[in-house]
Amino acid sequence: MTKGRLQLSKSIRSVCLAVAAALPLANAHFVLQIPTSLGFSDINEVQAPCGGFDIASRNKVTNWPIGGYPIGVVSTHPNAHWQIRAALLENTEEFVDLIPNIVQDGLGNFCLTRVPGIADWVGKDAVLQVVQRAVDGELYQCAAIKFVEGATASVPGNCRNGSSVVASIDPDYTGPATLPTGGSAATTTTTGAPASTSTGSSGTNKSVHPPMLGLLATVIYLFDSLFDLSGVL
């Protein structure tokens, strides 16, 4: 096989991988890709605390160094608000913020490179919960994790920001002043199902999902992926 053909088949394979990766997004609200989630269900994603999946399931447990681990999502909603939290499996009523809430604009990949763990919880079974608040109200994805000693984990190549993604700390965040980078600072906790003001976006019409948004996000995601891969090949 000539070098040119090899390159071509590699490119085709990359395109196929990108398409396969994007398929679940056709209707998705958001998908937690890193770490491995408990599962994704488009219909049940509105259900607290874990988008319809059993919070106690431990099929794939991610070891989470205290120094930090990446979180990668793909979002089909612009103007998203994120909560990144964890709870001990023995007390899933009490989620603790790992970082301040985040406001994010732009569609597609979104990657936080270093979300710190909680030192006091090292070795205990825990659950990561990612909550997105956007046009459809609150959406939930979880992952089985265990905090471990250690420095920041490396960030996989598919944990990236889409070209249009802009994010920053929510200026209205009223959580712990100091981040729980290892101590017991995070005393501001909320319940598993934040029955906050936005539940059902009271007043506004629930589940106003712009019909083309999922498709648009898929296209943007594919475009971004191909761009990225073409630099690698």
Contact footprint for ligand NAG (CB under 6 A): 111-113, 159-161, 167, 204-205
Which among 81, 202, 86 is positioned nearest to 143, based on CA atoms? Answer: 86
Candidate list 42, 136, 138, 224; residue touching Cu ion; CB under 5 A? 136
DSSP alpha helices (H): ranges in 30-69?
A: none
At its nearest, how many Å lie between Cu ion and the CB of residue 22? 16
At its nearest, how many Å lie between ligand NAG and the CB of residue 173? 15
29 contact, one of Cu ion, ligand NAG, none, CB 5-8 Å limit per kind: Cu ion
59 contact, one of Cu ion, ligand NAG, none, CB 5-8 Å limit per kind: none
- Choose between 99 and 127: whose C-beta lies nearer to ligand NAG: 99
At its nearest, how many Å lie between ligand NAG and the CB of residue 165? 6
Distance of CA 88 to the CA centre of its chain: 19
- Choose between 45 and 224: whose C-beta lies nearer to Cu ion: 45
160 contact, one of Cu ion, ligand NAG, none, CB 5-8 Å limit per kind: ligand NAG
Q: Which DSSP letter does residue 172 get?
A: T
**Between 213-232 and 3-22, two packed helices, what is the crossing angle to 10 degrees?**
150
81 contact, one of Cu ion, ligand NAG, none, CB 5-8 Å limit per kind: none
C-alpha to C-alpha distance for 133 and 81, rounded to whole angstroms:
5
C-alpha to C-alpha distance for 217 and 106, rounded to whole angstroms:
9
At its nearest, how many Å lie between Cu ion and the CB of residue 195? 20
Check residue 29 for interaction with Cu ion (CB under 5 A). yes
Q: Alpha carbon of 209 to those of 142, 195, 217: distances in Å?
A: 22, 21, 13
At its nearest, how many Å lie between ligand NAG and the CB of residue 39? 24
158 contact, one of ligand NAG, Cu ion, none, CB 5-8 Å limit per kind: none
Distance of CA 175 to the CA centre of its chain: 20
Written as six digits, the tokens of 20 are 């396969």
Q: Which residues of 118-131 are buried (b: 16+ CB within 10 A; e: fewer)?
A: bebbbeeebbbbbb
167 contact, one of Cu ion, ligand NAG, none, CB 5-8 Å limit per kind: ligand NAG
What are the residues binding Cu ion (CB under 5 A)? Answer: 29, 136, 209
